[in-house]
Structure 1
Amino acid sequence: MSGHVAPRPGHRVSVGVHPVLRYAVRRVLAGAGTLLVLSVLVFLATSVLPGDAASAVLGRNATGPALRELRQEMGLDQPIWVQYRDWLTGLLQGDLGRSVSSYLTGSDVSVWSQVGGKLSNSLTLAALAFAVIVPVSLAGGVLVALRAGRWQDHVISTVTLVPSALPEFVLGTVLLAVFFTWLDVLPPVSLIAPGTSPLEAPDLLVLPLLTLVGVTVGAAIRMIRAGMLDALAADYVTVARLNGIAEPRVVRRYALRNALAPSIQVFALIAQYLVGGLLIVEYMFAYPGIGNELVQAVTIHDNTEVRSVTMLLAAIYVALMILADVIVLLVVPKLAEVGGSA
């Protein structure tokens, strides 16, 4: 007789959903709710700032009738909830709105046409920095963990900790003094021609990259070192060693995999910093990225551009965090059951 038990009449057989998928859906929904709340806060914060786009456009010609006419054209005479509704509706449809430059030049200039290329420049710089930080941090973190307390640990930790303790503008100034003023081997600014890729002039990216890597890699190495030390001290690693498994295999198969979970979260935080924290580096090296564009938009009271760019960066930020959480669950399957059922 088979051990299979047939379902009772009327009993609904449930189809299991993979814990990772269930967790990912929940995180996406939570992220969407977070972005919705943030959109309200960003809109209100930019709405209460002194001055408005109409006054900035007209300048000295901001007389009563002209100001009222332009405010009506820009929709600034509408109730604030109507303005928010129209902006959010366009945002959800992929329309970032109309830039203040439209009213300055008399042409239809969208926010995306203003920020698209500069956002691409920023993401290129961030991706290059991330591509350097990840392998350097992993290699350095694993090495100092395996040589904990030895000279390699002290040298690598000290060399990487010093630049990470400095603010971006201080480290950037030091790099400028060394590579431009003293050695004269790198340009002091990263002036990339409009319409060209930053990759076409790699020498212009060296100083911004070194600055970003320098301020982040030290903390990443220390976090990975701590995770590796915890993993190497775990019981399952001790058992593997007692069973005669070669040390490289113990490190690679048992310790490193379990140390990767917290490391992924560290890299996610670094990626989020690189996306949202480029402002100082871009300004310092005159890099044509989204940070400089955002500063200019604030200066001319282009609230539509400020709001849309802020939400773009926030969406990337949330997406990176969700992706990191999902990768952690895939790397450590046991966490998927806990995370998916929580």
Structure 2
Amino acid sequence: MTAEVAVRRAGGLPRLVALRLVAGLGVLLAVSAIVFTATELAPGDAATAALGPDSDPASVVAMRTELGLDRPAVVRYLDWLWGAVGGDFGVSYVSHRPVSDVIAERAGNTALLGGLAVVLLVPLAIGLGVWSALRAGRAADRIVSGATLGLVSVPEFVIGTVLVVVFAVQLGVLPAVSFVPPGQQPLDSPEILVLPVVTLLAVCLAHNVRLVRAGVREVSAGDAAENARLNGVPEHRVVLRYVLPSALPPALPIFCRYAGFLLGGALIAETMFGYPGLASALVTASAGRDVPVVQAVALVAAAVTVLLNLLGDVLAVLLDPKRGVTR
């Protein structure tokens, strides 16, 4: 690396991080406003959801006053936003517990589910993508390409349903529901994690295998790799020294975006298998018009996505300075 490139990279990376952080804060603010507005426009509120449609109007009014729902929407939103800046997401309208406690209970479960999927995603996507690209046109490449194309074309809920039918109903080797008894943790019964993790992983893996395959094929056919082969450099060294350093950095931001999807807890996977994560908490809170919980979950998911996108951009700059100094 030349001194000029080093200086430019040192100056460009902090600027990139600062710009991304400012943009991320704007995204979080927009997400909070959109979610709050959507819940306000939905019919009913937490009081009517809790008491039912046939409840006494006076009881509904009393509960609305107790929950603070009689205040103007803008005031309620600004109060919640000010508290969220200090880490206070308010109190759940339904359970009357601090929202931070609700998030803390579910976030660990979601992080476990998404983390397992990420740990499997990265090596499998890189390994299968490289293996397929280096065997372009052969039977192995056609099998991998056909399988990934098929997975990309199938919705996530269909994959989950097929997995349940095969492994839970027909074979009976895995549970169909990822139920966690009170007082226990998901790792106490690791078999309940298998089907949700595979469901989460399937579509993400297919996309990323195809991404890595395309990048490796392009770089492998380039002048640098071909010249190295003509000079007698062994193929494995060509791949490690010339192909991967150029093919992987462009894929890193995409990897991180998918990691954000996985760590955020896929809504379909968690609700399909009854897994007690953030996504299922969001569904329950939405049904009960529990606005503080809905906003907090949405904000946490958006923050994870923003940070992982930032991580992907930073890694891409560090591994390939040309990507960073031109921004």
Give TM-score, length-normalised by structure 2. Answer: 0.91
Please report how far the alpha carbon of residue 17 of structure 1 lies from its aligned counterpart in structure 2 after TM superposition.
5.4
Cα offset for 1:62? 4.4
* 2:38 is aligned with 1:37: no
Residue of structure 2 aligned with 1:20, choices 4, 10, 13: 13
Aligned partners of 1:295, 1:212: CA distance in 2, in Å? 18
CA drift at 1:309? 0.9
Q: Distance in 1 between matches of 2:168 and 2:46?
A: 40
> SS of the residue aligned with 1:191?
coil
Letter in 2 for 1:98: V
Aligned to 1:278: 266
**2:209 matched residue in structure 1:** 221
Query: Does the 8 Å contact 1:57/1:100 carry over to 2?
Result: no
Q: Secondary structure at the match of 2:52?
A: helix
Stretch of structure 1 that moved more, 262-271 or 22-31: 262-271
> What is the identity, as a one-letter code, of the residue corresponding to 2:61?
R
The runs of 5 or more residues in structure 1 that have no matched partner are 1-14, 103-107
2:113–2:265 Cα contact (<8 Å) kept: no
Per-residue CA deviations over 1:86-118 (Å, capped at 9, x if unaligned) read: 00011111111111234xxxxx51112223222
Partner Cα distance (1:229, 1:73) in 2: 63
User: Are residue 298 (structure 1) and residue 286 (structure 2) matched?
Assistant: yes
Report whether the alignment pairs 1:243 with 2:236.
no
Task: Report whether the alignment pairs 1:159 with 2:147.
Answer: yes
Residue 201 (str. 1) matches residue 186 (str. 2): no
Distance 2:231 2:62 in 1: 82
Q: Secondary structure at the match of 1:18?
A: helix
* CA deviation map 1:135-191 (0-9, x unaligned): 111000001110000111011222333233221221112112221222221111111
Aligned residues: percent identity? Answer: 42
**Equivalence for 2:3:** none
**How far apart in 1 are the matches of 2:261 and 2:103?**
19
Matches within 5 A, 1:45-84: 45-59=38-52, 62-84=55-77
Alpha-carbon contact 2:160-2:199 (below 8 Å) kept: yes
Distance 2:70 2:31 in 1: 23
SS at match of 2:136: coil
Q: Root-mean-square deviation (CA), in Å?
A: 2.0
Q: Distance in 1 between matches of 2:305 and 2:90?
A: 21
Supply the distance in 2 between the matched residues of 1:232 and 1:190 (Cα, whole angstroms).
43
For 2:93, the aligned partner's letter is V
Go from structure 1 to structure 2 and tell me whether the alpha carbon gap of 1:178 and 1:67 turns closer, same or farther (over 3 Å shift): closer
Total equivalences in the alignment: 320
Larger radius of gyration: 1
- Distance in 2 between residues matched to 1:280 and 1:195, nearest whole Å: 25
* Whole-Å separation in 1 of the counterparts to 2:296 and 2:142: 46
SS at match of 1:178: helix
